[in-house]
């Protein structure tokens, strides 16, 4: 450190902004800082796995906030429901990457120089090295050294010789190359993630059987995109959900667990284009004009017909019901604002209906073995007139009056009390939900991850080490040969290199010459 070189009696000169920045930079790029930042990164990742996150489950976040009114606002303000997009999480990983760049880039230069530099000269006393050995050869000094250099070159060592004295060799430069490739690739992974975040988009849509979807923003139930994405530029593909098949486990073990679901689609790359029939399954998305269409969920959509007091049909459609549990007890809302009077229904759809005192109406199996629709009917003002947008999944009953409860099986018609109309549960269809995503950065992220993995393996498995051979005439004729080696990376066993080279140079019974470990 620079400050330690100052004479103690002199007052320290003011560091100045440049000096301070240099000091800061040196601190940031030290291994110790990298280590602390790695620990910090592990720690700041934890809350996102414990608290619900907006990015993955916004509904549960709202629920959690409702249940914990005391702590939730503070946590929310600090970004605890969006940990991985929070400034403090970003601060940690950005500091880590700055530290990484500051550490790795200079090492690239150092390594490139090392690749051009011959191995260092042989130390005077090879016996002091961690592994060494010696023997008397019958060859001359020059013969021994030439033979050693030749053997080492054959073994892909980088060799430097001094005439008549020693041979130096080094091996394992790939270790540092791999290390640098690994760290530089991590930067590229981050770039890939950033590209995906800025140029990618992702949307969710629920499509009922027999209905279609076209890739425009208004058709999505939820849509999110990076900063540089123009919603007008979405590829104009479309598809229709022709049929959705689902199968559940009926055996004792894991009863009700899904066994198969697949969606038959007809797909068009562009309006007026050729229609293609295809099947989308969980692990088999549809690739559509650079985007991918994934099947992520499914549920039931009862078909109902609502008539008002005049007998006019005011609603005739399938209604998406959202599953609430593994047996697809589902909730949904039917709104007929144009009815006279306006009618609204809160509904509970049960694919295999059961009714108990304890649980009330609920479903006991996810397949539609005994489908039932429990409805609660309301009349009055459903709050649609003030223009504020309303969810199709909730009914604002604050200005409405409940007029009755009924349970229906397919084909049943419920005549509402006081001649206010009727509702018919015709039959049921299914819906499937799709996630449609476009991520232009994923290829880069994948390629960089693979490069990082290769670099990592090279850096961990290649061993860097140096070996030297000294030869001098022995007192009683022949040549005294010393071999010594030094590991330059941890866990490297250089003894085998010494033994190997000695036996190649013709040493008798090498095992006795082994240096103690």
Partner 1 sequence: MTSVQLAEASNAAVYASMITLTLAMVAFAVSFASGRRRVTVPSTPTGQQPGRRAANIGMSLTWLSFLLLLVGVVLRGVWAGRVPWGNMYEFSITAALGVLGVYLGMSIRRDLRWLGLFVVIPTLLWLGLAITVLYTEAAQLVPALKSYWLVIHVSAAIICFGAFTFAAATAGLALVRGRAERRAGSTEVMGWLSRVPDHERLERLTNTVIAFAFPLWTFAVVAGAIWAENAWGRYWGWDPKETWAFITWVIFAAYLHARSTAGWRGSRASWIVLAGWVSFLINYFGVNIFVNSLHSYSGM
Site residues (vs partner 1, CB under 8 A): 31-32, 34-35, 38-39, 41-42, 45-46, 48-50, 53, 55-57, 60, 83-84, 193, 202, 249, 251-254, 257-261, 281-285, 292, 294, 296, 435-437, 439, 442, 445-446, 449-450, 452-453, 456-457, 460-461, 490-491, 517
468: number of CA atoms within 13 Å, CB side? 24
> 141: exposed, middle or buried (C-beta count within 10 Å: 0-12, 13-18, 19+)?
buried
54: number of CA atoms within 13 Å, CB side? 13
Nearer to partner 1, 95 or 193 (CB): 193
Q: CA–CA distance from 285 to each of 184, 205, 258, 411, 440 (Å)?
A: 32, 15, 18, 36, 17
CB of 52 to partner 1, least distance (A): 8
Nearer to partner 1, 110 or 457 (CB): 457
CB of 122 to partner 1, least distance (A): 26
CB of 193 to partner 1, least distance (A): 8
Nearer to partner 1, 159 or 436 (CB): 436
CB of 457 to partner 1, least distance (A): 5
Nearer to partner 1, 405 or 457 (CB): 457
Assign residue 42 a region (left: φ > 0; alpha: ψ between -120 and 50; beta: otherwise): alpha
Nearer to partner 1, 170 or 439 (CB): 439
Helix (DSSP H) and strand (DSSP E) numbers for the chain: 10, 23
CB of 136 to partner 1, least distance (A): 28
For 140, the 3-state DSSP assignment is: coil
DSSP 5: G
CB of 437 to partner 1, least distance (A): 4
Token pair 């007192």 is found at 475
Nearer to partner 1, 373 or 445 (CB): 445
Nearer to partner 1, 20 or 88 (CB): 88
The DSSP string of 285-333 is PEEETTEEEEEEEEEEEEEEEEE-TT--EEEEEE---EE-STT--EEEE
Distance CA(291)–CA(306), nearest Å, equals: 39
Nearer to partner 1, 52 or 372 (CB): 52
Tokens describing residue 152: 């080492």
* Residue 459 and residue 178 in contact, taking contact as beta carbons nearer than 8 Å: yes
* Residue 241 and residue 210 in contact, taking contact as beta carbons nearer than 8 Å: yes
Cβ of 163: how many Cβ atoms within 10 Å?
A: 8
Distance CA(412)–CA(423), nearest Å, equals: 9
């Amino acid at each position: 450190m620079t400050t330690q070189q100052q004479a103690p009696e002199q007052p320290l000169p003011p560091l100045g902004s440049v000096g301070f920045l240099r000091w800061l930079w040196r601190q940031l790029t030290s291994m110790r800082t990298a280590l602390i930042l790695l620990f910090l990164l592990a720690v700041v990742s934890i809350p996102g796995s414990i608290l619900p996150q907006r990015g993955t489950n916004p509904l549960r976040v709202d629920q959690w906030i409702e249940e914990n009114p005391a702590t939730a606002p503070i946590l929310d303000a600090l970004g605890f429901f969006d940990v991985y997009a929070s400034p403090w999480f970003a601060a940690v990983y950005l500091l880590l990457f700055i530290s990484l760049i500051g550490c790795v880039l200079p090492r690239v230069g150092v390594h490139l120089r090392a690749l051009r530099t011959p191995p260092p000269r042989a130390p005077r006393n090879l016996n002091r090295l961690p592994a060494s050995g010696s023997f008397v050869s019958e060859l001359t000094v020059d013969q021994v050294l030439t033979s050693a250099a030749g053997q080492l070159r054959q073994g892909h060592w980088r060799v430097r010789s001094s005439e008549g004295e020693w041979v130096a060799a080094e091996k394992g430069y790939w270790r540092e190359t791999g290390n640098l490739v690994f760290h530089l690739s991590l930067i590229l992974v981050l770039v890939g993630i950033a590209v995906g975040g800025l140029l990618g988009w992702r949307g969710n849509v629920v499509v009922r059987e027999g209905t279609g979807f076209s890739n425009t923003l208004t058709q999505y139930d939820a849509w999110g995109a990076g900063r540089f994405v123009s919603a007008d530029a979405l590829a104009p593909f479309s598809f229709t959900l022709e049929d959705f098949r689902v199968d559940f486990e009926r055996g004792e073990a894991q009863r009700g667990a899904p066994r198969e679901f697949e969606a038959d689609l007809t797909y068009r790359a562009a309006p007026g284009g050729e229609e293609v029939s295809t099947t989308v399954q969980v692990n088999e998305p549809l690739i559509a004009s650079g985007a991918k269409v994934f099947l992520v969920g499914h549920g039931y959509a009862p078909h109902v017909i609502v008539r008002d007091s005049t007998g006019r049909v005011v609603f005739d459609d399938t209604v998406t019901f959202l599953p609430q549990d593994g047996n697809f007890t589902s909730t949904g809302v039917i709104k007929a604002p144009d009815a006279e009077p306006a009618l609204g229904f809160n509904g509970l759809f049960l694919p295999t209906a059961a009714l108990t005192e304890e649980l009330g109406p609920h479903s006991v199996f996810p397949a539609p073995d005994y489908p039932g629709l429990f409805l609660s009917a309301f009349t009055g003002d459903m709050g649609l007139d003030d223009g504020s947008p309303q969810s199709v999944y909730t009914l604002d009953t604050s200005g409405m009056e409940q007029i009755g409860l009924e349970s229906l099986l397919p084909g049943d018609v419920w005549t509402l009390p006081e001649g206010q109309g009727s509702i018919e549960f015709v039959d049921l269809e299914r819906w499937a939900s799709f996630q449609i995503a476009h991520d232009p950065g994923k290829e880069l992220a994948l390629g960089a991850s693979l490069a990082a993995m290769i670099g990592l393996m090279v850096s961990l498995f290649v061993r860097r080490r140096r070996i030297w051979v000294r030869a001098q005439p022995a007192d009683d004729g022949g040549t005294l040969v010393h071999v010594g080696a030094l590991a330059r990376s941890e866990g490297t066993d250089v003894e085998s290199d010494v033994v190997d080279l000695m036996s190649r140079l013709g040493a008798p019974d090498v095992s006795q010459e082994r240096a103690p470990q």
